Structure 1
Amino acid sequence: MEDDKKVVIGIDLGGTKAAGGLFRLKGALLTKRVKKLEGRTGEAVGVLIVDLINGLLRIAKEEGLQVTAIGICVPGIYNEIDNTVWAPNIPGWEEFRLKEVIEQGMSAARIPVAIDNDRSCSILAEVWKGKAKGCRHALFVTVGTGIGVGIWANGMVLNGAHGIAGSIGWMGMDVALSSTDRQRGNLEQYASGSGISSHAAKLLEESPGVESSLRRIPKKALSAEDVFKAYQANDPIAVSALETAIAYWGVFAANLISTFNPEKIIFGGGVFGPASQFMDKIISVSEQWAQPISFGKVSIEASTLEGDAGLVGAGYLALKSLKNKV
């Protein structure tokens, strides 16, 4: 079959929904479908992914297209040795055999299935269709509820011995860690989306005399989005919380520059977005702390792929699985 009739399927699984798409081999997204998890757990989430794949297989068949591979981005850790997924936000996915469920449930036989974590899929997306195109050494920093890093080194994804490399939210940024910091690493405690909102809530408690519009929001409902909105109005609590996050992002980026000597560091995820306005400040902080020669040769940028990084990366993961077999 001609290459223009060949496609791959990409699946991006998140904590609340799964997105799927058909991609041409050169990267064009032909169709996209989204299914909400709606409280599903365990095996039911696997069934939903199978249904999503089978729906895309039907569309491909109707269009006279041949699906040659499937790539799946998962929000956690994929253990390629025993083919299990650990996804902390999906109950019942402590050692879930996703690949086995898909291979048994999909309507077409003998289509290769590749799985990887969301950190690695995000950097693959940037290499394929984003800011890291043409790079052999690049990092994708995803800042959302947590923080992770996709590592592209010598033209390959670096996952580590057990698929856990890049779980950088656990990094300690201060030797004087609190008990809470030691549980999760204080990078994530102050510079993730959830960390920004919890830090703002802590500042509200510690500064009862400081006027802030954030006091009108119940503590449990306070979000990073609320903090960003308040920042635009020069709210002192929001300014303090985000200045702390900026400092952490800058020092963290400097540590990555000194450790990996990348060509590019790309910030993305749900928080970038709104935090992309701070790129100049992040770069300025980073310059103060990074190895100077390495800093002089790196570009620090915000992603332009927005919410499709995981889906695009899953598509490229499928394509790479074909190339690796050639």
Structure 2
Amino acid sequence: MAVIGLDLGGTKLAVALFTEEGSLLYKERVPLTLLQGEATGALIADRITALKNRFPETAITGAGICVPGIYYAKTGNVWCPNIKGWENYPLGKRLSEACGAMPIVIDSDRACYILGEAWKGTAKGCNNAIYLSVGTGIGAGILSGGAVVRGQHDIAGAIGWMALAQPFQLPFKQYGCFEHSASGEGIARYTRELLDTMNDYNGLLRAIDAERLKAQHVFEAFEQKDVLATAVIRHCVQFWGMAAANLVSLFDPEKIIFGGGVFGPAQKLIPDIREEAAKWAQPVSMPSVLFVPGSLGADAGLYGAASLVLQKAIPYPNHDQ
């Protein structure tokens, strides 16, 4: 018996086949190559069919899909801002038509990240844990009492809009205060702003074309103790720490798990983030909360998507016991 997991991103579709115990049988990454609208839906359906054909002797019990945006459970539609034509795309209907009787389950990337870590990663055995994803954007998958917190409109966990600084700035309307300030894009953006004001700075980041500057460049300069890069990363540590403190105070989790593209290079900063969070968080809760990196890396969404199929059959968290 096996399940399919699919993780849709802005530039790729990752596809995997797992046993129902969580062993990885097969994995591939398919570039989207500027696909949009219906073409992206067709690609997902095609990869599910291709995987079934590749493993004809395997009983596949369903497919779970992780989407980078909002999944509306009542309609089966999705909103994915990085995919043109997916402002309210009927993905559930599209896949049901293509896949026939095979069960199809869809959820947001935020939910899938924490579910993946709860199934086979750092949050295994936890009933209360939060996955704080920092990449191009920022979001949180929140597990509370063994269930994912979804909210009235399936948007819970959109913590990029957490208000962490004053005064209000117009860009916060599009990205949110937290995401504008401390996402991967935010790191590059803030660095450019400082480059424009620090006329006497002639360090490592001055040599990089500002339009091509990315968070990776800032982390590389930070490792070499560049003054500007250090200021930028310390600025982000403050934001990550304040956000984590708010999550601790609101949800009293066992663990906060840091993942996403930035927590690669930022993993070594987790102790500093915890120290910052301790200044702000509820003081009884905070000492018992573990701040840890995710253990599934870029595959957290794949594992979480696959686990959606198992949860539909057997309610979480008992399917892994």
TM-score interval, normalised by the smaller of the two chains: over 0.9
Q: Give distance in 2, aligned partners of 1:22 and 1:90.
A: 24
Which of 86, 90, 99 in structure 2 is aligned with 1:93? 86
Which of 47, 64, 68 in structure 1 is aligned with 2:61? 68
CA change 1:50–1:182 in 2 (3 A) is closer
Identity among equivalent positions (%) equals: 44
Report the Cα offset of residue 324 of structure 1.
4.3
**Paired AA for residue 13 in structure 2:** A
Q: Give distance in 2, aligned partners of 1:212 and 1:155.
A: 48
Which residue number in structure 1 is paired with residue 206 of structure 2?
215
The 5-angstrom pairing of residues 171-320 of structure 1 reads 171-320=162-311
Q: Where do 5+ consecutive residues of structure 1 fail to align? A: 1-5
With the length of structure 2 as denominator, give the TM-score of the two structures: 0.96
- 3-state SS of paired residue (1:88): coil
Q: Where do 5+ consecutive residues of structure 2 fail to align? A: none
Which residue number in structure 2 is paired with residue 14 of structure 1?
9
Report the Cα offset of residue 37 of structure 1.
0.3
Residues 1:83 and 2:71 are matched in the alignment: no
Which of 136, 142, 155 in structure 2 is aligned with 1:151? 142
Q: Give distance in 2, aligned partners of 1:220 and 1:53.
A: 38
Q: Give distance in 2, aligned partners of 1:50 and 1:134.
A: 33
Residues 1:44 and 2:39 are matched in the alignment: yes
Report the Cα offset of residue 180 of structure 1.
2.3
Q: Give distance in 1, aligned partners of 2:280 and 2:88.
A: 39
With the length of structure 1 as denominator, give the TM-score of the two structures: 0.95
- 3-state SS of paired residue (1:188): helix
**Paired AA for residue 316 in structure 1:** S
Q: Give distance in 1, aligned partners of 2:37 and 2:255.
A: 37
The 5-angstrom pairing of residues 133-152 of structure 1 reads 133-152=124-143
**Paired AA for residue 219 in structure 1:** A
Kindly tell me the number of residue pairs found equivalent between the two proteins: 317
- 3-state SS of paired residue (2:266): helix
Q: Deviations over 1:304-323 (max 9, x none)?
A: 21110111110111111121
Which of 299, 305, 312 in structure 2 is aligned with 1:321? 312
Moved more, 282-291 or 116-125: 282-291
Report the Cα offset of residue 99 of structure 1.
1.4
- 3-state SS of paired residue (2:30): strand
Report the Cα offset of residue 182 of structure 1.
4.2
Report the Cα offset of residue 171 of structure 1.
1.1
Q: Give distance in 2, aligned partners of 1:268 and 1:244.
A: 19
Which of 22, 26, 49 in structure 2 is aligned with 1:54? 49
